[in-house]
Structure 1
Amino acid sequence: MTVEATLVVPMAVCVITLLILFSYYLYGRCILSQDCYVLAFRASIDADRYGNNPESTVLAKRDRVLGKKYFGSTKPVIHVESRASGKEIKVEASARIRAGAMGNYFLKPRSGWEFKAGQKAKCLGQVKHIRKMTRLKDIGQRVFD
């Protein structure tokens, strides 16, 4: 082997490994952000319909929403906050990449790569608003008829 190949081949392997790890990180971060919003939105709808506790709704639907799509990372840890007397629900989650490759080298942090995401949704009372507008429209038609 030549000196150039001795330097180029490990560098190419290193770059390819980093691309794979970065893609796991990016995929996990995107899916986690999406799942946080889905959980927050579903909790806001349930709070609107039933007046439920949003934390219990998120914890009940967590396993079904998260599923088995986090193949390159650990299962996310979910934290739920309810603000403004239950009108705003904030869901935060974090997970960690499970890859042990390049753990002792300078390119990958020794603590690993952790990604976090958080989304929030508001309980707007859509059903009550639509019913109120429909009722006002009916009353307006009766007045003018």
Structure 2
Amino acid sequence: MLRPVTDTDGAPFWRYAAEGELRVQACAECGEPRFPPRPCCPHCRSFACEWRLTSGRGRVWSYVVPHPPLLPEYAEQAPYNVVVVELEDAPRVRLVGNLVRRAGAPLGSFDPREVRIGAQVRVVFADGLPQWVPA
């Protein structure tokens, strides 16, 4: 399995995910949530930030179904879905992940033909990675 590459700004996201929490970076001055994490608020230009716990609920905003050829680590699991989830309590934040039947299920566990834009989902965690399941 491929693992995420972390940088200084994004490392807290992955640390919280490893603890089973979905948190997003937010500006400590104006309060605007932002993703991906970055050092400066694009709204007020402040460098002050905090990590807010989210409800972990959202909706499928978009999706794609990759087909081979892919990276070798994923080719055997294709076809599978890759969803973009808009968070319920931070609607400007959209996260990329996979819709699965249950935490830790293989990528192909949710039939790509059943994915629907607007479907309600909630986050689950498997091995420190956020995944999405139907709400």
Normalising by structure 2, what TM-score?
A: 0.24
Normalized per residue, the structure richer in strand is: 2
Instruction: Looking at secondary structure, tell me which structure has more helix per residue.
Output: 1
Q: Report the structure number with the largest CA radius of gyration.
A: 1
Q: Which has the higher contact order (CA 8 A, sep 6+)?
A: 1
